[in-house]
């Protein structure tokens, strides 16, 4: 039975995995041993050495305090407090020295009991015996010290002198022995470190040897398999090069029934699919946004020239004051500013899955909806994109001095955005030579009118009632007015986009609540209450443009009352 390529490769993989597993397990075990050795050095050897050094230091401190005490007791003046303090320090130093010696013995005995050792348990046991003897010497030292302190208190100078000499002799002997013990502990710790390093080098050498064996085995088997694959693979490479050069009619002959044969068959099928997709790309290569092409290549039914009706969200973005701003600029500077502006304003649209439909001067038209975004998230994404555009515009204004070459003297510019959600006709619209996948209908016109309505209300982002309803869970808004825009017969409630949920300042939310009450009084023709309400709004945010606008309207209506049929709807005459 002929062994297939899959079985060969699988066998190679299994063999390498087994070898890698063995190497990994062995390395893990040996590495864990190294780690354990380092742990016991850190937990036993070094602490024992430090404890012995500390015991020596405390012994020296105790001796110093004893001499200071003897000097204090010999002074004629009353210094009882000083003497008591020195007695306490002597006791504390002696106790600390005893505790450090006991701690050193504890660490040494823990190491002796540990199953992982450095073949130095005998040396450690001997050292423990020596330290135990030091504890006995400490007890003799403390006994003589007690006699010395008692004699110093009674004032017997001869007896004090004799006991002090005896105490010094004991201390000197203790210091020599503890210093010897500390040196021995340091030697044992150094030997443990050297042993750990040697074991670590051994681990590395074994790992390198196993790695070399695995590499040699892999290269040998791979070379054997490659020899059987080279010829058909070369034919596939030649076919791939031909397809890369544009020859989509390439067909590679199938000469075997193994995996290479099936791969060749798949290659031929792939080239056929490429021929079909190349035709689609040629048809849709005229669209502005590349995601339209990418989204429609796998959905040929969406290229129907008849179009279809869908609910979509449309966004218009325009720069306020651009005409005045562009006057006097050189063509190069104007192009640089426009390119940067379009980049900054387009990025939030694409980041939130929107489609850039077209650029109209300094204006941008974009849309959201199937098949590019879900119907339940299109309004939310459009609102989030608008908020990011407003945030990005501030950074764009900060870049203007570098873009135009001077830092002051240019007119103030701002951004205006209109968003509307509703039924539109979407499809391929244009001539036989050039087409655009775009949206048309009343909703598109409404979004454009809302963008223009920002001029009237002094706002930045106005959205339709349908958009507000669909995005209510994600953003905060306030109702601005009911308007009748040019080209529409039914009034529209319009809303100002304030920000994302949880990110709007309290004063803006308070302004919205006060504004709603004032707007309700305005629609009921309760001019006094409406006047007071909008003045309250300005007390919260003094620069609120919609509130100022309604105060002007109220002043007009109080001077000339509206008709009986007036229902609070304002007709926008500007497009």
Confidence of residue 303 (pLDDT cuts 50, 70, 90): very low
Residue 10 lies inside a defined structural domain of this protein = no
Residue 33 lies inside a defined structural domain of this protein = no
Concatenated DSSP letters for 424-471? EEEEEEE-SS-EEEEEESHHHHHHHHHHHHHHHHT-SEEEEHHHHHHT
**pLDDT for res 410:** 66
R_g (Cα) of the chain, nearest Å: 45
Q: How far is C-alpha 276 from the chain's CA centre?
A: 42
Residues 345 and 199 in one domain: no
In the listed set 470, 502, 534, which residue is the last one of a domain according to the structure?
502
Residues 564 and 417 in one domain: no
Residues 176 and 88 in one domain: yes
Which two tokens mark 391?
A: 């945030």
399-411: b (≥16 Cβ within 10 Å) or e: ebeebbeeeeebe
Which two tokens mark 435?
A: 């087409």
What distance in Å separates the CA atoms of residue 284 and residue 292, rounded to the nearest whole number? 8
Residue 423 lies inside a defined structural domain of this protein = yes
Confidence of residue 288 (pLDDT cuts 50, 70, 90): low
Residue 427 lies inside a defined structural domain of this protein = yes
Residues 534 and 489 in one domain: no
Concatenated DSSP letters for 477-525? EEEEEEEE-TT-SS-EEEEEEEEETT-S-HHHHHHHHHHHHHHHHHHTT
In the listed set 184, 210, 236, which residue is the last one of a domain according to the structure?
210
**pLDDT for res 284:** 54
381-393: b (≥16 Cβ within 10 Å) or e: bbbbbbbbbbebb
Residues 148 and 163 in one domain: yes
In the listed set 210, 236, 265, which residue is the last one of a domain according to the structure?
210
Instruction: Give the relative orientation of helices 5-40 and 157-244 as an angle to the nearest 10 degrees.
Output: 170
The pTM is what? Answer: 0.54
Burial of 421 (0-12, 13-18, 19+ CB in 10 A): buried
Contacts of 95 (CB under 8 A, 6+ apart): none
Confidence of residue 286 (pLDDT cuts 50, 70, 90): very low
Residues 456 and 553 in one domain: no
Residues 234-277 have pLDDT tens digits of 777 787 888 777 777 787 777 766 767 777 778 788 877 777 77
What distance in Å separates the CA atoms of residue 525 and residue 329, rounded to the nearest whole number? 49
User: Strands 414-430 and 435-440, how do they pair?
Assistant: antiparallel
Residues 545-559 have pLDDT tens digits of 999 999 999 999 999
Return the percentage of the chain with pLDDT > 70, whole number. Answer: 88
* Number of structural domains found in the chain: 3
Residues 493-518 have pLDDT tens digits of 999 999 999 999 999 999 999 999 99
Nearest to 209 by CA among 199, 198, 217: 217
Count of CA atoms in the C-beta half-sphere (13 A) of 306: 3
Residue 281 lies inside a defined structural domain of this protein = no
- Look up residue 409 and give its DSSP letter: -
**pLDDT for res 19:** 72
Mean pLDDT of 115-119: 74
Residue 176 lies inside a defined structural domain of this protein = yes
Residues 321-359 have pLDDT tens digits of 877 777 767 788 888 888 899 999 999 999 999 999 889
Q: How far apart are the first and last CA of the chain?
A: 81
Q: Examine the pLDDT at 473 and tell me if it is beyond 90.
A: yes
Residues 516 and 491 in one domain: no
Residues 70 and 133 in one domain: yes
What distance in Å separates the CA atoms of residue 40 and residue 158, rounded to the nearest whole number? 51
- CATH number of the domain bearing residue 46: 1.20.1420
What distance in Å separates the CA atoms of residue 176 and residue 182, rounded to the nearest whole number? 10
- CATH number of the domain bearing residue 431: 3.30.70.1230
Residues 536 and 488 in one domain: no
Residues 16-66 have pLDDT tens digits of 778 777 777 877 777 777 777 777 777 777 887 788 888 888 888 878 878
Nearest to 69 by CA among 104, 49, 51, 93: 93
CB 316 within 8 A of CB 450: yes
- Look up residue 302 and give its DSSP letter: G
527 vs 296, more confident: 527
Give the range of the structural domain holding residue 397, as residue numbers without chain letter.
Answer: 305-502
């Amino acid at each position: 039975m002929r062994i297939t390529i899959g079985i060969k490769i699988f066998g190679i993989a299994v063999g390498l995995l087994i070898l890698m597993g063995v190497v990994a397990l062995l390395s893990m075990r040996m590495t864990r041993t190294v780690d354990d050795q380092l742990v016991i050095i850190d937990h036993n050897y070094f602490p024992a050495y430090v404890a012995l050094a500390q015991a020596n230091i405390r012994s020296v401190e105790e001796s110093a305090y004893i001499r200071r005490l003897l000097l204090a007791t010999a002074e004629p003046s009353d210094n009882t407090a000083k003497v008591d303090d020195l007695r306490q320090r002597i006791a504390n130093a002696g106790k600390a020295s005893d505790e450090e010696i006991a701690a050193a013995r504890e660490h040494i005995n823990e190491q002796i009991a540990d199953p992982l050792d450095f073949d130095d348990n005998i040396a450690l046991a001997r050292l423990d015996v020596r330290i135990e003897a030091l504890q006995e010497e400490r007890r003799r030292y403390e006994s003589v010290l007690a006699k010395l302190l008692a004699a110093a208190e009674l004032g017997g100078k001869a007896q004090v002198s004799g006991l002090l000499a005896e105490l010094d002799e004991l201390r000197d002997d203790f210091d020599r022995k503890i210093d010897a013990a500390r040196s021995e502990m340091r030697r044992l710790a150094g030997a443990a470190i050297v042993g750990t390093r040697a074991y670590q080098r051994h681990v590395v050498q074994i790992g390198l040897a196993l790695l070399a064996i695995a590499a040699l085995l892999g290269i040998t088997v791979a070379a054997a398999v490659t020899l059987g694959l080279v010829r058909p693979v070369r034919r596939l490479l030649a076919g791939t090069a031909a397809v890369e050069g544009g020859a989509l009619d390439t067909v590679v002959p199938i000469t075997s029934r193994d995996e290479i044969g099936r791969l060749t068959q798949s290659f031929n099928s792939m080239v056929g699919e490429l021929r079909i997709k190349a035709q689609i790309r040629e048809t849709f290569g005229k669209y502005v946004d590349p995601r339209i092409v990418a989204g429609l290549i796998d959905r040929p039914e969406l290229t129907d020239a008849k179009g279809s009706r869908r609910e979509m969200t449309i966004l218009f973005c325009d720069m306020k004051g651009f005409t005045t701003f562009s006057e006097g600029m050189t063509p190069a500077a104007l192009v640089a500013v426009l390119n940067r502006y379009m980049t900054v304003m387009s990025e939030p649209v694409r980041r939130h899955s929107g489609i850039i439909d077209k650029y109209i001067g300094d204006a941008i038209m974009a849309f959201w909806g199937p098949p590019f975004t879900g119907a339940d998230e299109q309004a939310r994404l459009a609102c989030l994109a608008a908020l990011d555009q407003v945030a990005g515009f501030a950074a764009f204004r900060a870049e203007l001095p570098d873009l135009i070459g001077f830092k002051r003297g240019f007119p103030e510019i701002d951004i205006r955005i209109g968003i509307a959600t509703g039924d539109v006709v979407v499809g391929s619209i244009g001539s036989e030579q050039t087409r655009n996948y775009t949206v048309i209908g009343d909703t598109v016109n409404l979004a454009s009118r809302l963008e223009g309505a920002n001029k009237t209300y002094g706002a930045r982002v106005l959205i339709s009632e349908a958009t507000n309803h669909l995005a209510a869970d994600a953003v905060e808004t306030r109702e601005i007015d009911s308007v009748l825009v040019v080209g529409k017969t039914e009034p529209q409630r319009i809303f100002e986009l304030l920000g994302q949920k949880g990110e709007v300042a309290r004063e803006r939310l308070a302004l919205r609540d006060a504004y709603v009450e004032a707007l309700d009084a305005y629609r009921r023709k309760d001019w006094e209450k409406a006047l007071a309400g909008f003045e309250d709004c300005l007390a919260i945010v003094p620069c609120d443009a919609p509130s100022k606008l309604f105060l002007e309207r109220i002043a007009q209506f109080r001077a000339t009352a509206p008709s009986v049929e007036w229902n609070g709807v304002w007709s926008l005459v500007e497009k």
